[in-house]
Amino acid sequence: MALLSVKNLRIEIKTRAGVAPVIDDLSFDLDAGESLSFVGESGCGKSMTALALMGLLPEGVGSVASGSITFDGEDLTQASEARLRALRGNDISMIFQEPMTSLNPLYTVGEQIAEVLRAHQGLSRKQAWDQAVELLDAVRIPNARARAEDYPFQMSGGQRQRVMIAIALACQPKILIADEPTTALDVTVQAQIFDLLQDMRRQTGSAIILITHDMGAVAEMAERMIVMYAGRKAELGPVDTIIAHPRHPYTAGLISCVPHILSTLTSEREDLVEVPGIVPALQDFGKDLCLFASRCRHAQPKCVNQRPPEIAFGNTHQAACWRAEEL
């Protein structure tokens, strides 16, 4: 049985124009120790999915309208706030995009890690501190015992993100959600963080959900990926399969619109394949049509009349496009 199973999840948020489904009929499974990636442009519902898994949807604005999130046999959409609090940071934890603002500036990083351990594992002050130092060492902060006494402002962006990872991994969670963990960091630091995440995953057996807009990062980090578009799942499948042969035109666009560094560069430079236009506005999200149709080169009349079903290719690969089989 899958560790996490999301079934027909629909999340609605209230806007000035009315209620819009930011997540519309999303289903996927995550196995223990697996590495899954969510890809898409901003405003496609990637981060919203992560917040829903954490039970952290913005109160009064967004809520689960239907569907279920089953973690270890327990439906999180029905769980009490107290139960969610116990799960968060313990069984499911999350690291955020902005390492500058996600640490409390008034406490040392050691205290902040120890705090999590004390809250979830009931360790004594001394035990928690020792383990915090061990964790800092594990995320490759040099001279961990001394650096545990540092305040966040004394650390670089990369080091702060390492501290966030240490906090997230403190209780050896079953799932680690990383929401654009390296977007604010330099590429050499990103390489270190990815390397660290891969190592940690191997050591602790945590499943990782990586949310990103960078196909390259997906290719390096994940085994399976879900391409999200306008709150819907456009394509799901093994990373290698999808990159070799994307079935959804949006996936194909995301891959080819980025100038990639290839193994050997030639002086030839073709124009990039454009995906014209932008993601639709929120009030159009729920409509019964393919929301990508206005940007799609392959659009047909059928695409604007009815929402496409998910067409399966083998057991592991699905694409929500009317023409997926031809493409």
Applying CB under 8 A, the residues found at the interface with another protein are 15-16, 41-42, 140, 142, 156-159, 186-192, 194-195, 213-221, 240, 243, 253-255, 257-267, 269, 271-281, 284, 287, 289, 291, 293-295, 299, 304-305
C-beta closer to another protein: residue 126 or 260: 260
C-beta closer to another protein: residue 91 or 214: 214
Q: What pairing do the DSSP bridges indicate for beta strands 74-75 and 62-71?
A: antiparallel
C-beta closer to another protein: residue 204 or 294: 294
Burial class (CB in 10 A: 0-12, 13-18, 19+), 268: exposed
- Shortest Å, Cβ 116 to another protein: 25
Element (H, E) at 187: helix 187-204
Burial class (CB in 10 A: 0-12, 13-18, 19+), 141: buried
CA distances from residue 198 to 69, 70, 82, 161, 176 in whole angstroms, order as listed: 26, 25, 31, 15, 12
- Shortest Å, Cβ 17 to another protein: 10
- Shortest Å, Cβ 2 to another protein: 27
Q: Report, in angstroms and rounded to the nearest whole number, the Rg of the chain calculated over CA atoms.
A: 21
C-beta closer to another protein: residue 7 or 287: 287
The 10 Å Cβ neighbour count of residue 98 is: 16
C-beta closer to another protein: residue 123 or 219: 219
C-beta closer to another protein: residue 123 or 299: 299
- Shortest Å, Cβ 304 to another protein: 5
Task: Return d(Cα 257, Cα 241) in angstroms, integer.
Answer: 18
Residues 6+ apart with CB under 8 A from 199: none
What is the DSSP annotation of 280-318? PPGGGTT-SS-TTGGG-TT--GGGGTSPPPPEEETTTEE
C-beta closer to another protein: residue 204 or 241: 241
- Shortest Å, Cβ 91 to another protein: 29
C-beta closer to another protein: residue 270 or 326: 270
- Shortest Å, Cβ 278 to another protein: 5
Q: Which amino acid is residue 145, in one-letter code?
A: R
- Shortest Å, Cβ 87 to another protein: 31
Q: What angle do CA 80, 179, 245 make, to 5 degrees?
A: 115
Element (H, E) at 209: strand 207-212
- Shortest Å, Cβ 298 to another protein: 14
